[in-house]
Amino acid sequence: MRPATGLALGERYRLTRRIAIGGMGEVWVADDGYLGREVAVKVLREEYTGNEDFLRRLRTEARNSAALSHPNIAQMYDYGEQDGAGFLVMELVLGEPLADLLEREPVVAPRKLLPILAATARGLHHAHLAKVVHRDVKPGNILLEHGGSVKITDFGVSLAANQAPMTATGMVMGTAQYLSPEQAVGQPATAASDVYALGVVAYEATAGKRPFTGSTPVDIAVAHVNAPVPPLPTHVHPGLADVIGRMLEKDPSRRPESAASLAGELETLAREIAEDPLGARSRSARRAAAARQGTRPAHAAPAHAAPTPPRPAPAAPASPPSAAMPVAWASVTPSDDERAPSGEPAPAAQGDEPAPRTPVEGVAAGRAYPLRRDVRAGAHDARRPPVRKPQPAGTRSRAASRATPDAKPARRTSTSTGQRFGPLGRLSWPLLALLGLLVVLLLATLVQAMAADAGQAAALLAGPALALSRPSRTDASPSSGMMLRDTPHAPRAAMTEKDI
């Protein structure tokens, strides 16, 4: 059967418009002819019509969802089959999935995100009390109503306590990006698995990206098992970073004990962040606790990694994980909203956690600034000589009193290279360079002065020679009888016939 507009299912529900397409079925808005209301109908996709395995899964989803009645779970109304295809009739949620919100806002503010996570955790806890594990918690299955309510939907791969197994041994069901480590290695999913998946959702909404990505679902699942969780940005509230870190623990026993306790922590954290958005009080409390314990302050490392001591990592297979895991990877479905960036760096290989450092003597408690290399070596900073206090006349310093008569003063070395310059050992290389420059300038000045003196002497010697070489004539003055010589320094007298 092919779903289409106007198709009537069970002679009661008439399809009006399609709103979503999933891996197993299509979701339509339909009119309920009996009750006169709009409902959501999930119809098995056309290519799976008559497939008994998919029909059995759809019946299981209907039974598991019908056993749940909670404000944060989409209510199941009816189930039917027609022309070899099954369909589910559910509550119509007027809003959008969390995946659409993350498309618009990759990073969601804590005041908006924490109520969504708390409501989702409470809905999951109700399902866990009914012995139902969702196994596919992801942003696409968390619906946000326009009024602010949160609804969990799509229990298509859910697992109930009395449910007959529908998968082979070691087969994985779920979405690789939100798969817990125990599911990735073929172990059965538990309530802690849903908590881990919700932690991945919280990390994605806080950091703007998923914690683990890869080119294939197998690579992503292996990263969930072996790779450490990348640290959250430093601006994230330390309380929120701590909660997300505990939700993403590899060991299920170290995660929050239940979804209900997690919801309580998230609601309390929402009130704390509203009063202290920057987390100043939380950071100061962590630094004080670290100072009392003699370890590094929490702000020097990711908040979700600092409070816990180093612990052994989960056992990893001796051979490459992709070849050793007893998992049917063909059953790991890719995400419907796959958008992992191709240029994102691969997760770093897992290594030992750094050992805690004790405070250095003389450093104020609660401060973990890196020490300079010369301070760590125990030497004073050569660029900043120690301040020496004036000594009274007739007294000797403590260092001088300890010195022996035969002791020779230590020769200083260069502040940058450490080299000694023989007799000029007391001079550093910058001072030597300055002296060399002054010598060069002095020599240049002397050479220039000598050249100027030589030019002036040559000019003086050339003056009389020019005066002697020029023709001279003498004229008899009629009045005094003196001889007048025509020289370059005296103008020649104009001679007229009258003067003669």
CATH for 98: 1.10.510.10
Tell me the C-alpha distance between 449 and 438, whole Å.
16
Do 76 and 214 fall within a single domain? no
Among the residue ranges 194-198, 437-441, 468-472, the one predicted with the least confidence is 468-472
Do 115 and 234 fall within a single domain? yes
Percent of the chain at pLDDT exceeding 90: 42
In this structure, is residue 276 part of a structural domain?
A: yes
Do 126 and 208 fall within a single domain? yes
Do 62 and 210 fall within a single domain? no
Among the residue ranges 33-37, 48-52, 55-59, 301-305, the one predicted with the least confidence is 301-305
* Phi, psi (degrees; rounded to nearest 5) at 400: -70, -35
Say which residue, 392 or 308, is predicted with more confidence.
392
Examine the fold and report which residue of 56, 77, 92 is the final residue of a domain before the chain moves on. 92
Q: How many domains does the chain have?
A: 2
Examine the fold and report which residue of 30, 61, 92 is the final residue of a domain before the chain moves on. 92
In tens, the pLDDT along 320-336 reads 443 334 444 434 444 44
CATH code for the domain in which residue 88 is found: 3.30.200.20
Instruction: Give the position of tokens 């479905």.
Output: 333
pLDDT of residue 352: 41
Active centre residues (catalytic): 136
In this structure, is residue 376 part of a structural domain?
A: no
pLDDT of residue 14: 95
pLDDT above 60: residue 147 = yes
In this structure, is residue 375 part of a structural domain?
A: no
pLDDT of residue 494: 46
Do 106 and 81 fall within a single domain? no
Tell me the C-alpha distance between 270 and 111, whole Å.
6
In this structure, is residue 457 part of a structural domain?
A: no
Do 127 and 80 fall within a single domain? no
pLDDT of residue 189: 92
Residue range 252-280: mean pLDDT, rounded: 91
Do 268 and 304 fall within a single domain? yes
Say which residue, 407 or 128, is predicted with more confidence.
128
Band of residue 175 on the pLDDT scale cut at 50, 70, 90: confident
pLDDT above 70: residue 216 = yes
| Contact between 312 and 241 (Cβ < 8 Å) | no
In this structure, is residue 447 part of a structural domain?
A: no
CB-count burial class (<10 Å; 0-12, 13-18, 19+) for 314: middle
Do 301 and 159 fall within a single domain? yes
In this structure, is residue 64 part of a structural domain?
A: yes
pLDDT above 90: residue 102 = yes
Do 66 and 198 fall within a single domain? no
Structural domain range at position 5:
1-92
The 3-class secondary structure across the chain, one letter per residue, is: CCCCCCCEECCCEEEEEEEEECCCEEEEEEEECCCCEEEEEEEECHHHCCCHHHHHHHHHHHHHHHCCCCCCECCEEEEEEECCEEEEEECCCCEEEHHHHHHHCCCCCHHHHHHHHHHHHHHHHHHHHCCEECCCCCHHHEEEECCCCEEECCCCCCEECCCCCCCCCCECCEEHHHCCHHHHCCCCCCHHHHHHHHHHHHHHHHHCCCCCCCCCHHHHHHHHHHCCCCCCCCCCCHHHHHHHHHHCCCCHHHCCCCHHHHHHHHHHHHHHHHHCCCCHHHHHHHHHHHHHHCCCCHHHCCCCCCCCCCCCCCCCCCCCHHHHCCCEHHHEECCCCCCCCCCCCCCCCCCCCCCCCCCCCCCCCCCCCCCCHHHHCCCCCCCCCCCCCCCCCCCCCHHHHHCCCCCCCCCCCCCCCCCCCHHHCCCCHHHHHHHHHHHHHHHHHHHHHHHHHHHHHHHHHHHHHHHHHCCCCEEECCCCCCEEECCCCCCCCCCCCCCC
Do 120 and 28 fall within a single domain? no
Tell me the C-alpha distance between 106 and 58, whole Å.
33
pLDDT of residue 500: 40
Say which residue, 428 or 173, is predicted with more confidence.
428
Residue range 369-380: mean pLDDT, rounded: 39
In this structure, is residue 251 part of a structural domain?
A: yes
Residue range 487-491: mean pLDDT, rounded: 44
| Tokens representing residue 405 in the block | 């008569």
pLDDT of residue 161: 59
Say which residue, 267 or 376, is predicted with more confidence.
267
In this structure, is residue 229 part of a structural domain?
A: yes
What Rg, from alpha-carbon coordinates, does the chain have? 45
Band of residue 431 on the pLDDT scale cut at 50, 70, 90: confident
Residue range 463-488: mean pLDDT, rounded: 45
**How high is the mean pLDDT of the chain?**
73
Do 192 and 206 fall within a single domain? yes
Model-level pTM?
0.58
Do 22 and 49 fall within a single domain? yes
Which residues neighbour 214 within 8 Å (Cβ) at sequence distance 6 or greater? 220, 222, 223, 340, 346
